[in-house]
Structure 1
């Protein structure tokens, strides 16, 4: 990933905005996303009843252009790179697949939207002069902004979840009992964002009947399966990608509501249990801090 400066964006390796070959005139869609919800007129009364409001997908419309004076071939290459990104079959033809749009705005670190480049429309009338106006459209099914860097923690079944000494140590020394069953293993995760984050959880075998629990909320994911040694099962709780898949791509059925398993802002704990006579199974929890807005009003960012 390249470093971005204020008023710059990046998609598919192409940087747009201030100080680049693709200056941006206007961007629509960075503010609060559109909402959908019922507005029901009240019979025989003034006004209406408002139902729940739900965010729609976030669509960015970027009015920009490629500026390469004296080098129209360079402009054509940049447009072609964006067209290739929009036509990538790994994203375009796979349900739920997305790519990243990175944004650097004043007063905040780089934020990321995940979606698809749905429109790349170029005007070639002035291409000989090295100027190609561009109309880009990027649709993010999840309107939240995310941190540029993914965080992760690993949890093994072979580590005790409790026990040890209580400081300060004074005579007589009392030793508390840890979890001798070798089943429950805690893991601390911290979402530094302003809204709930949705993790990707990977269970590496050998183990059977893994159960993942978010301690503070009590929400759990129960996988009544066996994960052989050398293989893994991935639980993706992210919006639009809520699936449980094996290493070979096969899906795993579960009755657990994946959408309710989330990491609230701040610090919380994830635990898991499983049957593993070798004590070598492990689990990873990966997530990105999630934000309501492009710039957090309470954020004091120093680059």
Structure 2
């Protein structure tokens, strides 16, 4: 269960930092626009340069803070040990691509999340006997985009392709479409990314079915998964940065040459449809994502002059 955060607070691994906590923050860097990388090429025989595309670098959040438990050095040491235990988590530290959430509450905005690791945790012990331990913390997020605090999810079952029944003769396997026959806003395939930048979903197909094909309608991007799933089996397509792999419920990977990073949910509302061979009509697709933001705060509707 997540901790409720107030303005100017950060939470990582269940430990609260910032305003009103026992770990007040003196300074924090790395929350604004992340660094960029890109070539700057001189223009032969002409003034100026040519600028290549700017790609965002990883986001490095540096926090200067201190454990503050006046007169209680044991409590201070315990808080430091708890932070060290979070940083030591082997399920993150020893697994390539594994990350943990860092939650941030900024004034005027809901809680937003970065996913990364604690890469630096240094303590100064001179005043530890008084319950005061300054800390230098660095959290590195390989994807610099902020995510919504709550993961969104929709479930799509396979429905009739036309809504008008079948025309005899009918032969198995029956190919059905996950958008269903209902129209307008009642169609179950609508997904909404409430952020201001593309979000990358996790797509999970639960059997029984064969050769599911998932399409983002507005962009036309399609992912086809060449698998046969029995009841109780699933296959997961993870399009998130740093993940981007297709795995089965037994842990095995599904080989693909498809560009998983091309399948994304743009800001606003869009539609997901899917098809599969399923004579039972019991297969389902879950689409999970977090709203994605390039800023920690909420932009003003009318910027101040």
Question: Which residue of structure 2 aligns with residue 257 of structure 1?
Answer: 259
The 5 Å alignment of 1:30-49 reads 30-49=31-50
> What is the CA distance between 1:296 and its match in structure 2?
2.1
Matched residue SS, 2:34 = coil
- TM-score norm. by structure 1 comes to 0.91
Unaligned runs of 5+ in 2: 168-173, 180-188
CA distance in 1, matches of 2:138, 2:246: 31
CA distance in 1, matches of 2:223, 2:131: 55
> What is the CA distance between 1:298 and its match in structure 2?
4.4
The 5 Å alignment of 1:90-105 reads 90-105=91-106
Question: Which residue of structure 2 aligns with residue 280 of structure 1?
Answer: 282
Question: Which residue of structure 1 aligns with residue 5 of structure 2?
Answer: 4
The 5 Å alignment of 1:120-269 reads 120-157=121-158, 159-160=159-160, 163=163, 177=164, 183-186=176-179, 187-269=189-271
What stretches of structure 1 move > 4 A for 4+ residues in a row? 178-182
How big is each residue's C-alpha offset from its partner over 1:116-155, in whole Å with a ceiling of 9 and x where there is no partner? 0111111111000000000000000000011100110001
> What is the CA distance between 1:263 and its match in structure 2?
0.4
Question: Which residue of structure 1 aligns with residue 182 of structure 2?
Answer: none
CA distance in 1, matches of 2:257, 2:272: 19
Residues 19 and 179 of structure 1: CA distance in aligned 2, closer, same or farther (over 3 Å): farther
Q: Across the two proteins, how many residue pairs are aligned to each other? A: 286
How big is each residue's C-alpha offset from its partner over 1:16-43, in whole Å with a ceiling of 9 and x where there is no partner? 0000000000000000000000001112
Contact 1:210 1:223 in 2 (8 A): yes
> What is the CA distance between 1:160 and its match in structure 2?
3.4
Contact 1:161 1:179 in 2 (8 A): no
Contact 2:28 2:61 in 1 (8 A): yes
CA distance in 2, matches of 1:9, 1:179: 56
Residues 235 and 299 of structure 1: CA distance in aligned 2, closer, same or farther (over 3 Å): farther
How big is each residue's C-alpha offset from its partner over 1:229-274, in whole Å with a ceiling of 9 and x where there is no partner? 1111111000111011111211111122100000011111101111
How big is each residue's C-alpha offset from its partner over 1:189-243, in whole Å with a ceiling of 9 and x where there is no partner? 0011100100001011111101100011000111111122111111100011101
Residues 19 and 299 of structure 1: CA distance in aligned 2, closer, same or farther (over 3 Å): farther
Contact 2:73 2:129 in 1 (8 A): yes
State which drifts further: 271-280 or 98-107: 271-280
Unaligned runs of 5+ in 1: 164-176
RMSD: 1.6
